[in-house]
A and B are shown apart, each in its own frame.
Chain A
Amino acid sequence: MFRFSSFRQRMIATVLLVAAALAAGPSGAAAQEKPIDVNLAVSSTSFVLGGVRIAQQEDLFAKHGVTLNVSVMDSGNTAIDALISNSVQFAVAGPPDVLVARSRKLDVVIAANLYRGAAGSVVLSKAAVQRIGVKPDAPLPDRLRALKGLTIAVPSATSTQTTPIRAAAKAAGIPLSFTYMPQPAMVAALAAGAIDGMMASSPFSGQPILQGTGVLWINGPGGGFSPDATPASSSCLNTTGRYAQSHADVVRRMQAVMADVATFIKQNPDQAKRDLAKGYPKVDQKSIDLIFSQEAQNWTQPVLTVADIEHEIVLLPNSSSIPDIGKMDPASALVMKP
């Protein structure tokens, strides 16, 4: 049997044991703090994700132990499909997508709000504006009436971009004709004259204006729509109810990131703007300044209430494609505590 023959040997053995324990300690802790991989499907690369981009630049996901892998889809609906098929744990889509999915008994719930209010603006081609003979500064009802007969592109039937224009037109009794296409494709289609107008969020809504091919017709983020037609949210972080139950900790971390980024934007607007510019390297500084001044406050309200969901339900179209929407419990769509 091994015995320590001297005090010196005992001391050396003790030091070695302590060193080994110290060495093992941090690695054990590190193993516990290993970041959790979270796959996120997003509906587009537009500025509705401004808060998420700033959070990425500020390493707020890493701070909460999350490694975020983002996949860009062509609509919120496709992002929800990716969520339902368990390809991702979270999906970014607007409340209409979530509510329509829930009306089909799909287990989708809202974990956090990413963008408050209307993110989309109506932009018409210059040719269309000349044709209709109404000025862009005319009263809203006149501008809405002028859209009759025009071909307006929206991302999808259930997109949050579609919600305000459809609701406003419905309230004014004006039938509108929509075509569906991804937001990045709208800019070129408008320039080529394939469509008369588009409803998109920035930076896509700003591009035709900067290129001189389009005219800002209704400014969504600038409060261009009436409050009745303005959605409570244009983009949410969603997950499945089952995942929210089984991985409540991950959901809390994601909610904490969105709460942190809201605080960060309020407290450090200049740094947040720089982060935004880094997150959207293809957008010029002038546009970043304009978008930040107009939309930054919309990234700072991460909580949706039951009243917000009730408002979203009212904004949905009356369609047989959304069965039993009137009977839906608004609170069941939320996994956040207001």
Chain B
Amino acid sequence: MTESAELQSSPRAGGVLEHAKRRGVLYIQILLLVALIAIWQGVADRFDTEFWTSSPLSILAALFQWYESGQLVTDLQLTLFEAGIGFVLGSIGGGVVGFVLGWVRKLGDIFEPFVLSIYTLPKIALAPLFVLWFGIGPLNKVMFSALLVFFMVFFTTFQGIRQVDLDLVANARLLGARRVDIWTKIAIPYSAVWVFTGLRISLPYALIGTIVGEFVAAQAGVGFRIKEATTYFNTAEVFAGLVVLMAISLLLLGVLSLIERRVMRWQTADTVSISDAAGTT
């Protein structure tokens, strides 16, 4: 075995290499971001595209002004609250219904076309109806977010539960496992990967639901400020709102990733990447 192969095959050395690789990628990403921002600013200055595309400096100024006015914090709080509650409600609803319909196959077969039919509706068209049903307060946005999240989590959970190895379930039953044991020790862990995939996909949808709700009718919130800025033809403020939304999304995805790593710890192990493995064998 050569020295480099030895280095690669030792778990500690592999970890160091992996870390160095990730750092390299991070540097490239930062460079790319800086270059994009510089080009954006340059184009805005050179071609006077401030109204159409704004510019990073104007967006920064708009963000600062928003913060100074004291509205950024209250808008963020409201939007995060609405999206968060909507996400939790939609996830629980989608998870429970998906689990039940996925586990009880007959029930799933009966209800699947109905759920699919509702899913195919362009849900954005329901937004004005939500104003009638839930008013213009936070409940409207919470329910709209929950609706969007529900379907994402429902389908992945449903699919995950249906992937459970039935032989494993039969063996567990033979060994005397109770229904609760089968759910908690086989079905839920088995489908957890699917459920978390659904949660990850649906998280931006929770935010979309809230923003659409705030666009339709609201008195505060990040979406409301974006809409207000468009009426003043204030492109910098619109972009500032978008930057805030992007930051919220990334933050929430990070939090979800942490939770996922903690909950799914049993599944993660020190593994060598496929290419590394191929190189050492």
CB–CB B219/A151 < 8 A: yes
Stretch in A190-198, A255-263, A293-301 touching the partner: A190-198
CB–CB A156/B217 < 8 A: no
Output the residue of A157, A189, A194 with the most chain B CB within 10 A.
A194
In the complex, A157 Cα to B234 Cα: how many Å? 12
Known contacts A194-B131, A194-B217, A321-B237; is A157 also within 8 Å of B136 by CB?
no
- B232: which of A81, A153, A194, A322 is its contact (CB, 8 Å)? A322
Known contacts A105-B51, A106-B51, A192-B132; is A319 also within 8 Å of B219 by CB?
no
Stretch in B193-201, B222-230, B258-266 touching the partner: B222-230
Assess whether B2 is interfacial by the CB under 8 Å rule: no
Residues of B within 8 A of A320 (CB): 65
Number of contacts between A and B (CB, 8 Å)? 74
**Interface hits, A75-132 → B, CB 8 Å:** 75, 77, 80-81, 100-101, 104-106
Assess whether B24 is interfacial by the CB under 8 Å rule: no
CB–CB A104/B219 < 8 A: no
Assess whether B171 is interfacial by the CB under 8 Å rule: no
- CB B206 to nearest CB in A, in angstroms, measures 22
**Interface hits, B120-156 → A, CB 8 Å:** 128, 131-133, 135-136
In the complex, A319 Cα to B232 Cα: how many Å? 10
Assess whether B64 is interfacial by the CB under 8 Å rule: no
CB–CB A180/B228 < 8 A: yes
Assess whether A314 is interfacial by the CB under 8 Å rule: no
**Interface hits, B13-72 → A, CB 8 Å:** 51, 65
Output the residue of A159, A178, A320 with the most chain B CB within 10 A.
A320
- CB A125 to nearest CB in B, in angstroms, measures 12
CB–CB A179/B136 < 8 A: yes
Interface bin, chain A: 20 to 34
In the complex, A195 Cα to B128 Cα: how many Å? 13
CB–CB A194/B237 < 8 A: no
In the complex, A193 Cα to B139 Cα: how many Å? 14
**Interface hits, B56-107 → A, CB 8 Å:** 65
CB–CB A189/B217 < 8 A: yes
Assess whether A185 is interfacial by the CB under 8 Å rule: yes
Known contacts A189-B131, A192-B132, A194-B132; is A181 also within 8 Å of B232 by CB?
no
- B231: which of A156, A177, A193 is its contact (CB, 8 Å)? A156
- Mark B225-261 against chain A: 1 for CB-CB distance below 8 A, else 0: 0011111111001000000000000000000000000
Q: Which residue of chain A lies nearest to B129 when distances are taken between CB atoms in the complex?
A: A188
CB–CB B232/A100 < 8 A: yes
CB–CB A195/B136 < 8 A: yes
Known contacts A106-B51, A185-B131, A193-B135; is A75 also within 8 Å of B231 by CB?
yes
**Interface hits, A188-243 → B, CB 8 Å:** 188-189, 192-195
CB–CB A104/B217 < 8 A: no
Assess whether B216 is interfacial by the CB under 8 Å rule: yes
- A179: which of B65, B219, B232 is its contact (CB, 8 Å)? B219
- CB B41 to nearest CB in A, in angstroms, measures 19
Residues of A within 8 A of B217 (CB): 153, 179-181, 185, 189, 194-195
Assess whether A161 is interfacial by the CB under 8 Å rule: no
CB–CB A151/B136 < 8 A: yes
CB–CB B232/A157 < 8 A: yes
In the complex, A179 Cα to B227 Cα: how many Å? 11
Residues of A within 8 A of B187 (CB): none
Known contacts A181-B131, A188-B132; is A100 also within 8 Å of B233 by CB?
yes
In the complex, A178 Cα to B217 Cα: how many Å? 10
Assess whether B218 is interfacial by the CB under 8 Å rule: yes
- CB A87 to nearest CB in B, in angstroms, measures 15
- Mark A170-190 against chain B: 1 for CB-CB distance below 8 A, else 0: 000000011111000100110
Residues of A within 8 A of B128 (CB): 185, 188
CB–CB B227/A180 < 8 A: yes
Q: Which residue of chain A lies nearest to B51 when distances are taken between CB atoms in the complex?
A: A104
In the complex, A159 Cα to B228 Cα: how many Å? 11
**Interface hits, A258-294 → B, CB 8 Å:** none
In the complex, A75 Cα to B228 Cα: how many Å? 12
CB–CB B232/A321 < 8 A: yes
Residues of A within 8 A of B136 (CB): 151, 179, 181, 189, 194-195
9 further A-B contacts with Cβ under 8 Å, apart from A188-B128, A192-B133, are A75-B231, A80-B233, A100-B232, A106-B233, A180-B227, A180-B231, A189-B217, A192-B131, A194-B217
Report the 5 A-B pairs with minimum CB-CB distance, sorted nearest first: A321-B232, A194-B135, A192-B132, A156-B231, A104-B233
- Chain B residues with CB under 8 Å of chain A are 51, 65, 128, 131-133, 135-136, 216-219, 224, 227-234, 237
25 A–B pairs (Cβ distance < 8 Å), ordered by A: A77-B231, A100-B231, A100-B232, A104-B232, A104-B233, A105-B51, A151-B136, A153-B217, A156-B231, A157-B228, A158-B231, A179-B136, A179-B218, A179-B219, A181-B131, A181-B216, A185-B217, A188-B128, A188-B131, A189-B131, A189-B132, A192-B131, A194-B135, A319-B232, A321-B229
